[in-house]
Structure 1
Amino acid sequence: MMTEQHDDEAAQHGAEGVRSASGSVFYGIMSGLEAQAFVPGQRLVEVDLAEQYGVSRNSVREALQRLAAEGVVELSRNRGAAIRSLTLQQTLEVLDVAERMTGLLARSAAHGVQEGRPRTAIEQALRELGAADAAQDTEAFARGRRSLYRALLDASGSQELRRLFPAIQMPIVYAQHRPSTLQKVRMRDYQAMCDAILSGNAPAADKAAMAHVQNVREAIVRRHAETAQ
């Protein structure tokens, strides 16, 4: 769909910095989704969050409002706030959008590399992902993934992609659906996608990025079918 730790997340979302009180709650919850500290369907209690992050309840409310605006949290008059939970159909709809948007991002980043925009951050993020994958460090892998997408957004140079891409609900998808094969699928796909981007091959980058989301979809659908039996 996230602290980078916090700096990368702020750059990717292009909004309020994490130095603000509400920003620390916002990015803390997003990062916590990746680390399974927060899970879909979990209620978020204002007083507990205020104590956890050392901020006022007003700052917590601001963060929850922003999370709700981005589709991560659902606010209910009766139940309060809770991490959004997706049905399988909603998950597939998110992936439909992610497929097109990720392809567009990869194509745009490849054009950027071809035009001479820096490629070092992409290469560094790929190394981080490889090291995290080898160590089976899920949290480090999540940080590397976020670093990679920040680097691709930078290489793209597209303000519209920078504005729209973070709104895709992939953090919820990854928090809710964790097939054991998914990290290997993602690492293999990221390598193929970045190879095309770094070579400046926009059509191949587009194709590889869309194939990545298709592979994520297949892994989730397969896992859902297995658990339904």
Structure 2
Amino acid sequence: MRSDEVTSSASSAVIYGILNGLAEQKLFPGQRLVELDLAEQYKVSRNSVREALQQLAAQGVVEIPRNKGAAIRSLSLQETQEVLDVAERMTGLLARSAALGIASGQPRDPIQQALAELDRANTAQDVDAFARARRGLYRALLNTSGSRELKRLFPSIQMPIVYAQHRPSTLQKVRMRDYQAMCDAVLRGDAQAADEAGMAHVQNVRSAITHRFSSSPAETET
């Protein structure tokens, strides 16, 4: 294996670890990311860590201010709304595309299994398992859709930061109910209903976050 391939593989491990830590709420918006600590944690060189942080910065996950260390990006309320605007359209499109995949003969099992795993995690109130199962569900929907562009673009939406930063107590119940409704439409092969359910899910997330801010106005600039 060439040295550039080794570096790329090592940096990918750091990227995955940071994204996974954010999704499982082990990392938080605003948290500093120390190169030396990351190199020790992932058993990679500091060059690999720097490459990973640069890639995450390009994706909007990490901020690297001049003369300061890297940190997980923190979203203002306006930035959160902008992320949700994109997520609403993209989630509807993903659900529609997956429903069309089912209608054209793609297997239902991967989505059904992913949804069952999500339901088990929700019942157990296991936040880490719920985060993993959620990612598994979206992978199943992306695979069912068969869209290369959705596979490329969907992971770039900064919903993990939104979920890590804004955690109203009602949000997980909203998400589970909405995932069920979206998947029901997808599994019926009903593209229009799936599109609407996907967009409704993000609209409900927006409502939960907005309600939290209206109850705690001092937090609107976090």
Q: Establish whether TM, by shorter chain, passes 0.5.
A: yes
Shift of 1:117: 1.1
What CA distance in whole angstroms lies between the structure 2 residues aligned with 1:196 and 1:50? 44
For 1:200-219, list aligned pairs within 5 A: 200-219=189-208
TM-score, normalisation: structure 1: 0.90
Q: Would you say how many aligned residue pairs link Structure 1 and Structure 2?
A: 213
TM-score, normalising length: structure 2 = 0.93
Report the equivalent of 1:183.
172
Pair 1:134-2:123 in alignment: yes
Separation in 1, partners of 2:69, 2:179: 38
Q: CA deviation at 1:34?
A: 1.9
Tell me the equivalent position of 2:86: 97
Task: List structure 1 runs of 4+ shifted beyond 2 angstroms.
Answer: none
**1:29 and 1:157 mapped to 2: Cα distance?**
27
Which one of 107, 118, 133 corresponds to residue 118 of structure 1? 107
Take 1:164 and 1:25, find their aligned partners in 2: how far apart are those partners? 20
Q: Select the residue among 21, 44, 54 that pairs with 1:32.
A: 21
Residue among 34, 59, 65 paired with 2:54: 65
Partner of residue 152 from structure 2, selected from 163, 177, 200: 163
Which residue identity lines up with residue 218 of structure 1 in the other structure?
S
SS in structure 2 at match of 1:82: strand
Note the residue ranges of structure 1 that are not aligned, 5 or more in a row: 1-15
> What does residue 75 of structure 1 align with?
64
Higher Rg: 2
Distance 1:200 1:122 in 2: 12
Range with bigger deviation, 35-44 or 138-147: 35-44
Task: Select which of 127, 137, 158 maps to 1:148.
Answer: 137
* 1:16-73 superposed Cα distances (whole Å, 9 cap, x missing partner): 99x9211111010101112222110111110011111111101101110111111000
Residue 221 of structure 1 aligns with which residue? 210
1:173 match: 162
Taking the aligned partners of 1:187 and 1:214, their CA distance within structure 2 comes to 14
SS in structure 1 of the partner of residue 64 of structure 2: strand
Structure 2: distance between partners of 1:139 and 1:31: 10
